[in-house]
């Protein structure tokens, strides 16, 4: 592989090799973005490339959009999915529920592809399996955070 001037450029090349369309780059934040449409909803996958880590994440639900009565069951089902699904990790912050993957920046292209695809699979699984169990309607989350 030819020398690439930065890990961000390397990761962008890997994403292009995956035939991802509409990749945008914020060099200042060292991030790459790509939108996905799943079941007529749009989600933004964000890839942060830091000095030591690559973090891929997608917001699948804003907490303010989740009915209070559904939150406990939703969180429980995310934890069960974390246990049962290979390479899929659901997380939460003060604003929402995310699906994410982390790997060292010195990873290889094959591993990056698996990790990236796990985030996309996690979005689809959340939409088709987790949200319907708790009767939660998914909304688009194509926002930058």
Higher-confidence residue of 6 and 18: namely 18
pTM to 2 decimals? 0.90
* Confidence class for position 138, pLDDT limits 50, 70, 90: confident
Alpha carbon of 110 to those of 45, 138, 142: distances in Å? 18, 31, 27
In a domain, 143, yes or no: no
Strand partners, 37: 42
Nearest to 56 by CA among 66, 65, 43: 43
Q: Dump pLDDT digits (tens) for 76-92.
A: 999 999 999 999 999 99
In a domain, 66, yes or no: yes
Domain region containing 100: 7-133
Q: Give pLDDT, residue 41.
A: 86
Q: Dump pLDDT digits (tens) for 36-72.
A: 988 888 999 999 999 999 999 999 999 999 999 899 9
Domain holding 117: CATH number?
3.30.1460.10
In a domain, 139, yes or no: no
In a domain, 142, yes or no: no
In a domain, 1, yes or no: no
* Main-chain dihedrals φ then ψ at residue 15, nearest 5 degrees: -65, -40
Q: Are 113 and 10 in contact (CB under 8 A)?
A: no
**What is the domain count for the chain?**
1
Listed in order, strand segments (DSSP E) in 27-138 are 31-38, 41-49, 53-62, 89-92, 96-104
pLDDT value at 131 more than 60: yes
């Amino acid at each position: 592989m030819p020398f690439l001037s930065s890990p961000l450029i390397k990761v962008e090349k890997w994403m292009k090799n995956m035939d991802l369309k509409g990749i945008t780059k914020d060099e200042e934040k060292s991030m790459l973005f790509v939108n996905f449409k799943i079941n007529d909803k749009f989600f933004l996958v964000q890839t942060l490339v830091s000095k030591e880590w690559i973090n891929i994440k997608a917001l699948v639900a804003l907490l303010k959009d989740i009915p209070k009565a559904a939150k406990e069951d939703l969180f429980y089902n995310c934890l069960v999915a974390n246990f049962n699904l290979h390479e899929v990790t659901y997380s939460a912050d003060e604003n929402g529920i995310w699906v994410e993957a982390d790997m060292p920046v010195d990873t290889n292209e094959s591993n990056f592809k698996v990790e990236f695809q796990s985030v996309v699979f996690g979005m689809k699984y959340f939409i088709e399996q987790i949200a319907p169990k708790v009767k939660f309607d998914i909304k688009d989350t194509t926002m930058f955070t």
